[in-house]
Amino acid sequence: MTSDPIALATALASFEDLWSPRIVTRVNDYDVRVAKVAGEHVWHAHDDTDEFFLVIDGELRISLREEGVERTVSLPRGSAFTVPRGVEHRPYAPSGASILLFEPTGTLSVGDRHDEIPPHIDATTGHTLGE
């Protein structure tokens, strides 16, 4: 990690991979990650942690399964949303988006429980910038 300011646009421009978050910095025991996304992620849940999303550019949609009911939230640029721990969810971006995520260091991008992972999804705890 660096003690210099981090331009999110520069961080996002440093990689092309979709659904493959990069760790921008750490705050205590949490990673601040950025990712480029397009299409669908996989249905998954994080049993022990919430997951914070901030849309930097584009629009992100998150389908949620809560108490047997499915709903979708739409997040335009500049919007934030937290998926509560244990809630099954599937992010997707029909037209692509850039997002910032805030989650405990070591949190797997496909959660603790997930559907089969397709080839376009990177199951990772986050890559360092430049990786």
pLDDT at site 100 = 98
Residues lower than pLDDT 70 in the chain: 1-2
pLDDT at site 130 = 78
CA-based angle 121:122:123, to the nearest 5?
110
pLDDT at site 28 = 95
Number of Cβ within 10 Å of residue 75's Cβ equals 20
For the question of whether the overall pTM of this predicted structure is more than 0.85, the answer is: yes
pLDDT at site 1 = 64
Both tokens of 1, joined, read 């990690």
